[in-house]
Amino acid sequence: MTAIKLDGREVSEAVRNRLASAISDLDFVPALHFVRVGENPASVSYVRSKERLAASLGVASHVHVLPADASQAAVMNTVQHLNTEADVDGILVQLPLPDHLDSAPVLQAIDPAKDVDGLHPINVGRLWAGQDGLFPCTPLGLIAILKYYDIAIESKNVVIVGRSNLVGKPAAALFLREHATVTVAHSRTMDLAGLCQQADILVSAVGSPAMITPDVVKAGAAVLDVGLTRVNGAIQGDVHPDVWDKAGYLTPMPGGTGRMTTAMLMENTYRAALGRRRSALASFAS
């Protein structure tokens, strides 16, 4: 038995095509602004690839580069300035920030309506309270990929390994909203294997290469690999390749969940732009 590939390239292309079409129908150009501090090569490369994707969809982008020794105040001021600019729809502060900076106050300084990474506490609160808001991109991508392949979520046992603010916890919220039974496991979980074996949908977001071996996967389960480790220059996921013979569905690495993350970032930018400009219109009309 070989698992069906949950092809992030294919799903993200579908999302991108839908978005490009919706964006071309707008009477304005959505604008996404990046804040990058220093020249961390991975950050430079991530921002560049997001910019390229934005351009291909008709989203304007701009990168605000601060020196590696920028002060906390300088980063905050940059964000606050972008908050006030009427034609800035989305603000993304590329993480990680240099060690001398505290990211929490920076993320909280972002106008929640422009918070396309969905990390502002008020967006986190809206996510858990069942309200509308901007939510983290990687978890949104997991739901989108499952829906694209018509994999049922409601009433399924979803086990999420990893409890980060970026993936594990917001994924739990989104799966609960889809009426799954959700378990969050982590480094202090006892009998992780026994837990994973009960998962209809298994999400691994740990960053420990090949830790999800076939023996811990339920036959036929959908397995979503969010772990990402660079080993001697090659990218490795959390899921062992032998899981292809046990799972029913599996995301490849690369070409799986990571592809979805950037697509959902563009969807968040589109949604932020619509939300902001419509409410500006509404307040203009009133």
Annotation marks residue 117 as catalytic:
yes
**Residue given tokens 């917001």 in the structure block:** 170
Establish if 182 lies at the interface with a second copy (CB under 8 A).
yes
Compose the 199-238 pattern: x for residues touching a second copy by CB under 8 A, - for all others. Answer: ----------------------------------------
CB of 170 to a second copy, least distance (A): 8
Whether 50 is a known active-site residue: answer: yes
In the list 109, 172, 228, 239, the residue contacting a second copy (rule: CB under 8 A) is 172
CA distance 8 to 251: 7
Give whichever of 120 and 240 is closer to a second copy, judged by the CB atom. Answer: 120
Structural contact between residues 33 and 92, judged by C-beta atoms closer than 8 angstroms: yes
Stretch that binds a second copy, among 40-48, 161-169, 209-217, 250-258 (CB under 8 A): 161-169
φ, ψ for residue 115, nearest 5 deg: -85, 75
Strand bridging mode 222-225 / 234-236: unpaired
19, 70, 124, 167: which one contacts a second copy (CB under 8 A)? 124
DSSP assignments along 209-237, one per residue: TT-B-GGGSPTT-EEEE---EEETTEEE-
In our burial notation (b when 16+ CB lie closer than 10 A, e otherwise), range 207-231 reads bebbbbeeebbbeebbbbbbbbbee
Q: Which residues bind a second copy (CB under 8 A)?
A: 104, 120-126, 128-131, 154-157, 163, 165, 169, 172-173, 176, 179, 181-186, 188-190, 195
Active site positions, annotated: 50, 94, 117
